Structure 1
Amino acid sequence: MTIHTTPHLNFRGDARAALEFYQGVFGGQLVAISYADAHRATDPAEADQILFGSVTSHDGFRIMAYDVPSAKAYAPGTIPVFVSVRGTDAAAITGYWEKLAEGATVVEPLATSPWSPLYGMLTDRFGVTWVLDVEVAWDAA
């Protein structure tokens, strides 16, 4: 059996735009099923919003998202989750960073850190906080 942990992001009307943006950053396949597609629309104004959405890339990037309907309470909280993207290729991490940084607020610039040769944190234009770093073996010595 294989198991994957996939961040699932909740939006209020921005899921499609966020998924398209993340696909533009990481590549891969975008799946976007609207409430209308699934015959689950209860409000005609929200019929084109996303009931189930995901982006899955060849490199292993996976994210899911949907639009919380207006009939349900929605309180996104304050940085309720970080999405961590770790890899061994500094050039790839830098490329993801540059794309995610468009319209974002940089929390920690992409730079050397005590635990990684390259680490950074930003909050993208959709309010999602991302941590990107180059993964290295930990040495407690």
Structure 2
Amino acid sequence: MGSRLNPYLSFRGEARQAMEFYREVFGGTLTISTFGDFGNPDPALADQVMHSQLETARGFTLMGSDTPPGMDLVVGNNITVSLSGDDADDLRGWWDRLSESGVVSVPLEKQMWGDEFGQCVDRFGIGWLVNISQPQS
């Protein structure tokens, strides 16, 4: 394997639920390793996610973990995950799932540049941008 770049999301005790949700949204294979799997003796951390990785048939890779107590986790607007392309049906379906129970700041609709675009924060506090490209004439 060569090099790759992908998002790595941090959570405070919700990594398993979030990554299972993203597997429901995008499909694919999810692997989860807990702190207990790696021998951490702290019972409070045993079931927390040390590392998880979602690999999809479309080539998407999303990683995530729980942030252990004592480590800083600042939830905010410093990362947004972008989904874009021209497969309108898939992109609209993903938008519907991600924005459900979340907060929509820009509805998915045609924008001044001609594409459909929407912006939301999902129920786990992760920001998403969805852009559906229009066919070039």
TM-score after normalising by structure 1 = 0.88
Shift of 1:95: 0.5
Question: Which residue of structure 2 aligns with residue 97 of structure 1?
Answer: 95
Offset of 1:75 from its aligned partner?
2.1
Q: Aligned partners of 1:5 and 1:65: how far apart in 2?
A: 14
Query: Which structure 2 segments of 5+ residues have no match?
Result: none
Change (3 A) 1:59 1:101: same
The residue type equivalent to 1:91 in the other structure is D
How far apart, in 2, do the equivalents of 1:115 and 1:3 lie? 33
Cα deviations across residues 17-76 of structure 1 (Å, max 9, x unaligned)?
00000000000010110001111x253112101001011101122111001100322222
Q: How many percent identity over aligned positions?
A: 35
How far, CA to CA, are the matches of 1:60 and 1:10 in structure 2?
21
Gaps of 5+ in 1: none
Contact 1:116 1:133 in 2 (8 A): no
* Cα distance change on mapping 1:17 and 1:71 into 2, 3 Å: same
The count of residues paired between Structure 1 and Structure 2 equals 136
The equivalent residue for 1:21 is: 21
Q: 1:80: how far off? A: 1.0
Structure 1 stretches of 4+ moved >6 Å: none
RMSD across aligned positions (CA):
1.8
* Partner AA of 2:101 in structure 1: G
